Amino acid sequence: MNKIACITGASSGIGLATAKALAAAGYHLILCGRRLERLEALKNELPTDSYLLTFDVRDRNGVEAAFQSLPEAWQNIDVLINNAGNAHGMSAIQDGDPDDWDAMMHSNVDGLLNVSRLVIPGMIQRAAGHIVNLSSIAGKQTYPNGNVYCASKAAVEALSQGMRQDLNVHGIKVSNVAPGAVNTDFSAVRFKGDQQKADAVYSGYEPLVAEDVADLIRYIVTAPAHVNIADVTILPKAQASATQILRKN
């Protein structure tokens, strides 16, 4: 029987690439996102069955209603990819916009919890499952003006460790994936559509693409049953740390 993987933030970037990689590996997919048209377009492209759930991870009641609406055939989730999340703004702490802070903490931290709490009980019941949390190099090292985004990802790092400790006894694997610079619409969202600023983040070197991270996630979830890839940092070759990227121009 095909395994079921549930991916949040599946309508773009790393989530979308992961959906394609896991479908190619034979997984049936629950695709979660806010934009139904995008999810429908993705569903039509995939070689395996998928089921669409539209919600905003920040909306605890909405998330709950969405998961409660899952037909029985889709309820046994084998793999949860907590991918939804974003950066909003980049400025010194004293200049930060509290609405941006809320958006990051509510999606990157609360959102991960809102979804996980609905999937974990079934995994515990079946004594099996795998949760992959998308963190960031920013969760391991801060950088100037990254403050709250870095804090939200540091929280993801702590939650990955804590979940692994609590769920290990239930036969559930927890993996943490911390990408560096990946050329997606991440920076366009962070800089609120300022494409020039967004492009500058990825210029002068070869950044990762979403497919590079998806390929890693595919390996993590298809590794032999006794293997848990606990924590991986994935960087472009040109990147040495959160603050150090070798640019040719």
Q: Which residues make up the interface to ligand 8X3 (CB under 6 A)?
A: 136-138, 180-181, 186, 242
Helix-strand-coil split of the chain, %, nearest 5: 45, 20, 35
Q: Which is closer to ligand 8X3, CB of 129 or CB of 180?
A: 180
The three-state secondary structure class of 111 is helix
- Give least dist CB 190 to ligand 8X3, A: 8
Nearest to 218 by CA among 79, 113, 66, 116: 79
Nearest to 210 by CA among 21, 3, 4: 21
Q: Residue 163's CB: how many other CB atoms inside 10 A? A: 22
Active-site position among 27, 51, 149, 202: 149
| Residue 149 is among the residues annotated as catalytic for this protein | yes
Q: Which two tokens stand for residue 129?
A: 């499952």
- Give least dist CB 187 to ligand 8X3, A: 7
The three-state secondary structure class of 232 is strand
Q: Which is closer to ligand 8X3, CB of 55 or CB of 186?
A: 186
- Give least dist CB 198 to ligand 8X3, A: 11
Please state, in angstroms and rounded to a whole number, the distance separating the CA atoms of residues 146 and 154: 12
Q: Which is closer to ligand 8X3, CB of 43 or CB of 197?
A: 197
| Closest CB to ligand 8X3: residue number | 136
Q: Which is closer to ligand 8X3, CB of 76 or CB of 86?
A: 86
Please state, in angstroms and rounded to a whole number, the distance separating the CA atoms of residues 107 and 33: 12
Which residues face 4 on adjacent strands?
Answer: 28
- Give least dist CB 164 to ligand 8X3, A: 21
- Give least dist CB 107 to ligand 8X3, A: 13
Q: Decide: 113 and 152 in contact? Cβ < 8 Å.
A: no
Q: Decide: 14 and 83 in contact? Cβ < 8 Å.
A: yes
Please state, in angstroms and rounded to a whole number, the distance separating the CA atoms of residues 60 and 98: 20
In one-letter notation, the amino acid at residue 163 is: M
Q: Which is closer to ligand 8X3, CB of 75 or CB of 203?
A: 203
Catalytic residues: 149
